[in-house]
Amino acid sequence: MRIILMGPPGSGKGTQASRVEERYGFPVISTGNLIRREVQEGSELGKKARNSMNAGRLVNDQVVLEILKKRIFSTDCKKGYVLDGFPRNMNQAKKLEEIHPGHKEVVLGLHVSDETVVQLLGARRICPKDGSVYNLYTSSPLKDRKCDICGEELVQRKDDKPQVVRERLKVYHEKIETLINYYKNKGIYYKINGEKDIKDVSKDIFSVLDKELSKIKKFEMTS
Ligand SMILES: [Zn+2]
């Protein structure tokens, strides 16, 4: 089973992805991490990816797909895997289907209002020295605005400033709407309310996945 997890930045997508991995043993695949690793290893694909990145462009779909394919065909992905941050456009979605035609797909869309995202990301602070991440609401530093580890004054990333976040969200919505409609029409899209507590969001996700997995089992038993 291929699980596609979608959600705006700050929606807690990463957290939910690892909870799915914990419960079902399906590894989380983040294309961002995969690309970084290829670049570090200096593989052919990594070199191609780095060229685009150096030129300030997005890594092209073909290269991302090749990198992804390598990972998906590993043995630990046989029963299922979770895609975090992929696909991001229709071309990628179609290409993904070609990798495993007929593969069971479940798309989980975390819905969080723009205002919530602006608030959450707006409360994020990082330590410029060691990169520790804090959130003034959910995981605030012990001492006012200072890093727990090294005492450095915490800063806000430019990307997390409200205006920039709103701009990022606009771009996100424009791209993702088409994708959501595509998956809705295929009947595999599940809208998840991401405004709830982390635990309750997980519960909703698990109940969708449990149901879908039991369908696969029934099919295996009768065929
Ligand atoms: Zn620090």
Residue 132's SS3 state is coil
Indicate which residues carry an active-site annotation: 13, 88, 124, 157, 168
Helix 61-72 × helix 44-54 angle, to 10°: 140
For residue 154, the CA-to-ligand 1 centroid distance in Å is: 8
Q: Which residues surround ligand 1, an ion (CB under 5 A)?
A: 127, 129-130, 147, 149-150, 152
For residue 211, the CA-to-ligand 1 centroid distance in Å is: 44
For residue 121, the CA-to-ligand 1 centroid distance in Å is: 19
d(Cα 11, Cα 120) in Å, to the nearest integer? 9
Q: Note the pLDDT tens digit of each residue in 119-140.
A: 999 999 999 999 999 999 888 9
d(Cα 154, Cα 145) in Å, to the nearest integer? 6
d(Cα 217, Cα 155) in Å, to the nearest integer? 50
pLDDT of residue 53: 81
Reported residue count of the chain is 223
The residue-averaged pLDDT of 201-223 equals 88
* CATH number of the domain located at residue range(s) 2-26+79-222 in this protein: 3.40.50.300
For residue 152, the CA-to-ligand 1 centroid distance in Å is: 5
Question: Integer distance in angstroms from the first to the last C-alpha of the chain?
Answer: 17
On the CB side of 173, CA atoms within 13 Å amount to 11
d(Cα 48, Cα 187) in Å, to the nearest integer? 36
Q: Give alpha helix (H) positions in 42-126.
A: 44-54, 61-72, 90-99, 114-122
Are 83 and 186 within 8 A, CB to CB? Answer: no
Cβ neighbours, 10 Å, residue 128:
13
Tokens of 32: 């961002």
Q: Note the pLDDT tens digit of each residue in 63-115.
A: 899 999 999 999 999 899 999 989 988 999 999 998 877 779 999 999 999 99
For residue 141, the CA-to-ligand 1 centroid distance in Å is: 10
